[in-house]
Amino acid sequence: MRTGIVIGATVALLALVLILGAGDDGGPNAYVVIGIATGAIYGLVALGLVLVYKGSRVFNFAQGEFGTVAAFTVFVLMEQVRSVDIPYWAALPAGLLVAVALGLAMERVVVRPLMNSPRITLLVATIAFALLTVGVEIVLFLPEAKVLEPLIAATDASGNPNGVEIFNYILEPQNIIIVGVLALLAVVLGYFFSKTDLGLAVLATSQDSFATRVVGIGVERTSRFIWGTAAFLGGLAGILYVPISGSLTPGAMTSGILIPAFTAAVLGGMTSLPGAFLGGIVIGCVQSLANWAGNTYTLTIDDVVKPLQSIIPGLPDVAIIIVLLLVLLIRPQGLLGSEA
């Protein structure tokens, strides 16, 4: 019920922006489209964060790195293995597999020994694991930018764009794939957690691991499952996002993505999978619209007309943090959060 109202209100709000900006060249329309496209990635990473939070009650700082590792695996298989020509459809599952393996390793090495420690301890441990991964990436691949090809090339052989044009903004095929994957995952995972036995076992573990053990549910198994799935989602986000971000560097999915994704998860309620989806889209649009406002509106200082963006550098990122602060101070349970 509430989910429907909140989603409906958000969609109506975005539609309002689109209608008001229609026909206005340089208006906010294209920015909303960009916002939805980038927001989908935040949502995808946020899904993983929410999943881990539901299962282990901790913020997983390594969530972004699952993606970077998967992207690096695909990169190595496609670009650096010269003897065999590995196609994308084979490299992608391999990348996901490596991400899942990393997630399981992290669960075994870091999470399980600290299962009963204070959550802050586990938080610092996930930070250490994320930095360890970034460090290994730096040692292996040097701190240089690399390029990963998208699933479907952005331009065809003759140089024409492959994507769909919406409001004068050409949406790359990769963007459409991301939005589709995110929507599908949110529905599938939502079903999983409300209807299946394993899903309910995961929820039970997160609420009281001792009681869960008493009724005969393998806590270790659900924990493994949670971290494996989260790593899968993170890996998917990395492989899908890195090609449109343009560069693959060590820590690529942590430096710019993790904080907006956390904001999206908190906005969605930290425990709600549809909330993470919605939060991602909203945060993407907030960021993009702040960018638009920063470029459009001007202030006159000392008789010089300056765009807002140059007076407040990094305005889109500041907008995200303002949302985070407001949510935490005013509505800590988020849009769709509940204790489950």
Residues that bind another protein in the complex, under the rule CB under 8 A? 57-59, 109-110, 113-114, 117-121, 123-125, 127-132, 134-136, 138-139, 142-143, 251, 254-255, 259, 262-263, 266, 310, 312-315, 317-318, 320-321, 324-325, 328-329, 332
Shortest Å distance, C-beta 4 to another protein: 27
- Looking at beta carbons only, is 128 or 299 nearer to another protein? 128
Cβ neighbours around 291 below 10 Å, total: 19
* Number of helical H runs and strand E runs in the chain: 14, 4
Shortest Å distance, C-beta 118 to another protein: 3
> Strands 164-166 and 169-171: what pairing?
antiparallel
C-beta separation of 190 from 273 below 8 A: yes
> Whole-angstrom Cα distance, residue 129 to residue 125?
6
Alpha carbons within 13 A on the beta-carbon side of 173: 11
- Looking at beta carbons only, is 13 or 299 nearer to another protein? 299
Q: Does an H or E element contain 300, and which?
A: strand 298-301
- Looking at beta carbons only, is 9 or 311 nearer to another protein? 311
- Looking at beta carbons only, is 185 or 257 nearer to another protein? 257
Write the single-letter amino acid at 276.
A
Shortest Å distance, C-beta 62 to another protein: 11
> Whole-angstrom Cα distance, residue 205 to residue 246?
39
Q: What is the DSSP letter of 149?
A: -
> Whole-angstrom Cα distance, residue 81 to residue 88?
13
- Looking at beta carbons only, is 5 or 331 nearer to another protein? 331
Please list the residues that pair with 161 across neighbouring strands: 155
Shortest Å distance, C-beta 222 to another protein: 20
- Looking at beta carbons only, is 9 or 321 nearer to another protein? 321
C-beta separation of 182 from 40 below 8 A: yes
Shortest Å distance, C-beta 150 to another protein: 26
Shortest Å distance, C-beta 22 to another protein: 32
